[in-house]
């Protein structure tokens, strides 16, 4: 699957306002041919073009015919790019306002002629100075009656809607059949009446070029629609507004995560894929799997999310384990070196040589009748002792050197442990820096005493014994602030060495009996970091997660999960135990932000997740013949999918309608 070919909804480059030689003011009209006109748009990689000549549909049929010939040609030219033509017209209304009308791709010139007759246009076709005998509101009504979309053209420029005086403008602003306008200048200050009426038309832009040397040629708006584009998909996108319309031409919203699941296939399961495999294709953005209770939705999601989380966690611990393993090997090497030097040092060789000389001398003395035991015994002992003293001094120096290295190693381990905390802090800051819902703060070495006691008992292997001494260690730990970890370790070491008296003498005896490895493990031990998690659901003051309800805790955790990573994410009914406000504030909003960075597949019963999450792909499940099957899988723009959402999901028709009205809600 290439980056631009995937199931479900995608983004299309849509030029809403174009002219052909059918417009009287089109430049080079005598040299322009239909194929050249199409070529110019294809070279710009434009996907959809509304043909909107001044009060004329004169070039619609010849352009559609030439496009069909290019599509049928097996040897397509190098510049060929798939293109969808939407017949339309730019009407000059009685109010002297220009209005775009856009229709289904299968409409033709005759359809435009009938519309011009219905609105009473009697001027010259292709000229913009003639007007209809109906005002703009009446013309909008005729466009809607003919299943078209009405868009006021260049509202911020000449012949634009915003030139109308107050009462006439107010009448148009209250027209329910308009939900989009062509705004040329992003920085344009809209009339106060537009703001007072709380009008929130979707803002689009087209090239409005009257020739291909026009500097505006190539201007387009990103429109999110199903494949292939349709007038219904366009209408839904314009009603939806910001979630399905983007004016920024410098950003490609079709860019998605490199890693995503294209398809899963299930065969011979208990309730799925018995007669034939169940195949589910997924969008690289957001796909939702819906169905009634017991329809087998969660079967599609078993194990995958757990394995993904485990793999991510294991990788982090693997890095830490490798670092500790390297330090452990270095410490072991130092200890082994010390033992080798102790057993194979020069003094041992010297001793062997002296013994050989002694044996030789004793033999010689015996041959001479002298008792070897009585003659140079004291001298030999003196020499031996002197040599041992020298060696002891050498070993003392070596021992000091090894102790220095040991302290250095322990210090490095401590620094690495602190570094781990800093990396965790940096990781959380990076992941949550723009997250308005959840904040996680690292408390270095902040484990509670219950966890610390469990770890110390495990290191000392003392089970549940020595309660008084463990409680004493607890008091020492809580009394000693920033250096309490070292004080705690030193207290245990002193008791083991007999330098301090414990609460129970048996504790000292027990510590003394422990192998040296236990003390090494204690020296290498550090308490775990703790987390302070706060969350906010409505922009209010943050509250600690411990004070939240189970649903709030779940929502905060999901908010964090959605903030981190770029690998595919599978969620099985994340809305469980959450009210709709939490679902929208903490989950749906982040789903819409996250899906462009990573693929998200959600199994859900909640209409908010599917509809307000703006899923690019919906897979309705149903039970048929005793097994689960996928009904038609497509985007929300497909009528059968919309009907399935209304019939299956909790919230029904009201939740679905809310999606297409939310951009117009009073803010």
Give the span between the Cα atoms of 52 and 37, in whole angstroms.
14
pLDDT digits (tens, 9 = 90+) for 34-57: 999 999 999 999 999 999 999 999
The conformation of residue 612, written as its DSSP 8-state character, comes to I
The pLDDT value recorded for residue 135 is 95
Tell me: pLDDT of 594 over 90: no
The pLDDT value recorded for residue 560 is 79
Maximum Cα interatomic distance, the chain, rounded to a whole number of Å: 151
Q: What is the DSSP string of 427-461?
A: HHHHHHTT-SSEEEEEETT---HHHHHHHHHHHHT
CATH topology of domain 278-306+531-664: Rossmann fold (3.40.50)
The pLDDT value recorded for residue 637 is 82
Distance (Å) of CA 295 to CA 255, 559, 639: 33, 28, 22
Give the span between the Cα atoms of 382 and 646, in whole angstroms.
103
Mean pLDDT score, 515-521: 91
Q: What confidence tier does 309 reach under pLDDT thresholds 50, 70, 90?
A: very low
What the block records as the tokens of 263 is 């398809």
Give the span between the Cα atoms of 287 and 5, in whole angstroms.
15
How many Cβ atoms from other residues are within 10 Å of residue 535's Cβ?
24
Q: What confidence tier does 592 reach under pLDDT thresholds 50, 70, 90?
A: confident
Q: Are strands 286-290 and 600-603 parallel, antiparallel or unpaired?
A: parallel
pLDDT digits (tens, 9 = 90+) for 399-435: 888 888 888 888 898 899 899 999 989 988 888 887 7
pLDDT digits (tens, 9 = 90+) for 473-493: 999 899 888 888 999 999 999
Tell me: pLDDT of 437 over 70: yes
The pLDDT value recorded for residue 310 is 41
Tell me: pLDDT of 345 over 60: yes
Q: What confidence tier does 294 reach under pLDDT thresholds 50, 70, 90?
A: low
Give the span between the Cα atoms of 234 and 241, in whole angstroms.
11
Q: Which of 134-143, 333-342, 429-438, 652-661 has the lowest mean pLDDT?
A: 652-661
Give the span between the Cα atoms of 470 and 464, in whole angstroms.
10
The conformation of residue 584, written as its DSSP 8-state character, comes to I
Q: What confidence tier does 168 reach under pLDDT thresholds 50, 70, 90?
A: very high
Q: Which CATH architecture has domain 10-246?
A: Alpha-Beta Barrel (3.20)
The conformation of residue 528, written as its DSSP 8-state character, comes to P
Tell me: pLDDT of 80 over 80: yes
223 vs 433, residue with greater confidence: 223
Q: What confidence tier does 635 reach under pLDDT thresholds 50, 70, 90?
A: confident
Q: 10 has which bridge partners?
A: 225
- Short-list 603, 516, 171, 207, CA closest to 331: 516
The pLDDT value recorded for residue 272 is 80
Give the span between the Cα atoms of 641 and 653, in whole angstroms.
12
324 vs 396, residue with greater confidence: 396
Share of the chain above pLDDT 70, in %: 87
Tell me: pLDDT of 645 over 50: yes
How many Cβ atoms from other residues are within 10 Å of residue 655's Cβ?
20
What the block records as the tokens of 458 is 């495990």
The pLDDT value recorded for residue 663 is 36
**Residue 484, C-beta contacts closer than 8 angstroms, at least 6 positions apart:** 476, 477, 478
Q: Which of 211-225, 357-371, 442-456 has the lowest mean pLDDT?
A: 357-371
Tell me: pLDDT of 151 over 80: yes
Average per-residue pLDDT for the chain? 85
Q: For the chain, what are the domain ranges? A: 10-246, 278-306+531-664, 445-528
Tell me: pLDDT of 659 over 60: no
Burial, 489: exposed, middle or buried (Cβ in 10 Å; 0-12, 13-18, 19+)? middle
pLDDT digits (tens, 9 = 90+) for 532-569: 888 776 666 787 877 777 777 777 777 778 878 888 98
Q: What confidence tier does 184 reach under pLDDT thresholds 50, 70, 90?
A: very high
Helix (H) or strand (E) holding 278: strand 278-281
The pLDDT value recorded for residue 438 is 81
Tell me: pLDDT of 307 over 50: no
CA dihedral 602, 604, 606, 609 (to 10 degrees): 0
Mean pLDDT score, 7-34: 93
Long-range contacts of 622-626, Cβ-Cβ distance < 8 Å, separation of 24 or more: 622/291, 622/292, 622/295, 623/271, 623/292, 623/294, 623/295, 623/296, 625/275, 626/271, 626/274
**Residue 320, C-beta contacts closer than 8 angstroms, at least 6 positions apart:** 420
- Short-list 122, 176, 171, CA closest to 150: 176
Give the span between the Cα atoms of 59 and 200, in whole angstroms.
33
Q: Which of 77-91, 440-454, 525-539 has the lowest mean pLDDT?
A: 525-539
Q: 439 has which bridge partners?
A: 534
CB 621 within 8 A of CB 629: yes
CA dihedral 305, 310, 315, 321 (to 10 degrees): 170
Tell me: pLDDT of 295 over 50: yes
Q: Which of 424-428, 578-582, 594-598 has the lowest mean pLDDT?
A: 578-582
Mean pLDDT score, 91-115: 96
Distance (Å) of CA 258 to CA 283, 303, 615, 635: 12, 22, 19, 21
Q: 222 has which bridge partners?
A: 13, 246
The pLDDT value recorded for residue 312 is 61
Angle between helices 550-563 and 377-432 (to 10 degrees): 100
Mean pLDDT score, 619-630: 85
Q: Which of 297-301, 338-342, 556-560 has the lowest mean pLDDT?
A: 297-301
What the block records as the tokens of 618 is 């919906």
The pLDDT value recorded for residue 277 is 87
**Residue 519, C-beta contacts closer than 8 angstroms, at least 6 positions apart:** 493, 496
Q: Reduce the DSSP state of residue 112 to 3 states and report it.
A: helix
Give the span between the Cα atoms of 335 and 403, in whole angstroms.
10
pLDDT digits (tens, 9 = 90+) for 348-397: 677 677 778 877 877 876 786 666 666 566 567 778 888 888 889 889 89
The pLDDT value recorded for residue 660 is 45
Q: Please, what is the Cα angle at 493 between 490 and 323, to 5 degrees?
A: 75
pLDDT digits (tens, 9 = 90+) for 188-210: 999 999 999 999 999 999 999 99
309 vs 506, residue with greater confidence: 506
The pLDDT value recorded for residue 169 is 95
- Short-list 243, 357, 330, 57, CA closest to 637: 243
What the block records as the tokens of 348 is 């041992």
Mean pLDDT score, 649-664: 53
What the block records as the tokens of 268 is 């011979």
Rg (CA), the chain: 40
């Amino acid at each position: 699957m290439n980056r631009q070919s995937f199931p479900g909804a995608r983004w299309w480059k849509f030029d809403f306002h174009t002219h052909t030689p059918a417009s009287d003011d089109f430049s080079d009209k005598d040299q322009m041919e239909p194929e050249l006109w199409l070529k110019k748009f294809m070279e710009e990689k434009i996907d959809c073009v509304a043909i909107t000549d001044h009060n004329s549909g004169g070039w619609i049929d010849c352009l559609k015919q030439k496009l069909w010939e290019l599509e049928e040609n097996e040897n397509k030219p190098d510049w060929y790019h798939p293109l969808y033509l939407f017949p339309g017209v730019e009407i000059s209304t009685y109010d002297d306002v220009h209005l775009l009308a856009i229709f289904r791709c299968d409409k033709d010139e005759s359809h435009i002629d009938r519309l011009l007759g219905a609105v009473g246009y009697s001027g010259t076709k292709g000229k913009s100075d003639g007007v209809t005998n109906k005002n703009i509101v009446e013309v909008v009504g005729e466009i809607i009656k003919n299943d078209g979309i009405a868009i006021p053209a260049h509202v911020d420029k000449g012949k634009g809607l915003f030139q109308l005086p107050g009462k006439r403008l107010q009448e148009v602003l209250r027209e329910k059949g308009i939900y989009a306008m062509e705004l040329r200048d992003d920085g344009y200050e809209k009339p106060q009446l537009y703001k007072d009426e709380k009008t929130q038309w979707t803002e689009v832009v087209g090239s409005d070029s009257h020739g291909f040397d026009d500097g505006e040629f190539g201007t387009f708006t990103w429109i999110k629609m199903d494949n292939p584009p349709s007038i219904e998909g366009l209408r839904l996108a314009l009603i939806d507004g910001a979630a399905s319309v983007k004016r920024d031409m410098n950003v490609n919203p079709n860019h998605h995560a490199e890693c995503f699941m294209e398809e899963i296939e299930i065969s011979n399961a208990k309730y799925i894929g018995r007669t034939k495999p169940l195949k589910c294709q997924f969008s690289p953005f957001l796909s939702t799997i819906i169905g009634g209770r017991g329809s087998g939705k969660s079967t599609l999601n078993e194990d995958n999310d757990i394995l993904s989380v485990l793999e991510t966690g294991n990788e982090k611990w693997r890095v830490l384990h490798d670092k500790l393993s390297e330090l452990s090997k270095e410490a072991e090497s130092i200890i082994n070196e010390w033992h080798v030097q102790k057993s194979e040092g020069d003094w041992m060789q010297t001793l062997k040589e002296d013994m050989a000389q002694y044996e030789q001398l004793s033999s010689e003395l015996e041959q001479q009748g002298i008792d070897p035991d009585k003659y140079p015994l004291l001298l030999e002992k003196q020499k031996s002792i002197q040599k041992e003293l020298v060696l002891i001094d050498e070993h003392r120096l070596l021992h000091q050197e090894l102790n220095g290295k040991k302290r250095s190693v322990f210090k490095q381990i401590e620094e690495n442990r602190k570094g781990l905390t800093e990396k965790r802090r940096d990781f959380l800051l990076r992941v949550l820096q723009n997250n308005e819902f959840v904040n996680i703060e690292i408390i270095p070495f902040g484990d509670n005493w219950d966890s610390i006691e469990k770890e110390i008992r495990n290191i000392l292997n003392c089970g549940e014994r020595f309660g008084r001494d463990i409680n004493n260690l607890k008091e020492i730990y809580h009394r000693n602030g920033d250096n309490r970890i070292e004080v705690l370790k030193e207290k245990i070491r002193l008791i083991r060495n007999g330098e301090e008296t414990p609460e129970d003498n048996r504790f000292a005896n027990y510590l003394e009996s422990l192998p040296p490895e236990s003390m090494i493990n204690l020296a290498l031990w550090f308490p775990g970091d703790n987390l302070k998690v706060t969350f906010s659901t409505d922009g209010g003051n943050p509250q600690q997660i411990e004070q939240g309800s189970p649903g709030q805790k779940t929502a905060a955790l999901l908010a964090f999960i959605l903030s981190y990573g770029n690998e595919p994410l599978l969620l099985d009914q994340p809305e469980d135990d959450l009210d709709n406000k939490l679902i929208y504030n903490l989950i749906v909003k982040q789903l819409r932000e996250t899906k462009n960075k990573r693929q998200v597949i959600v199994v859900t019963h909640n209409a908010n997740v599917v509809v307000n999450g703006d899923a690019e792909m919906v897979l309705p499940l149903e039970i048929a013949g005793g097994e689960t099957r996928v009904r038609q899988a497509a985007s929300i723009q497909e009528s059968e999918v919309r009907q399935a959402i209304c019939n299956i999901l909790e919230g029904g028709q009201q939740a679905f309608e809310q999606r297409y009205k939310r951009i117009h809600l009073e803010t």
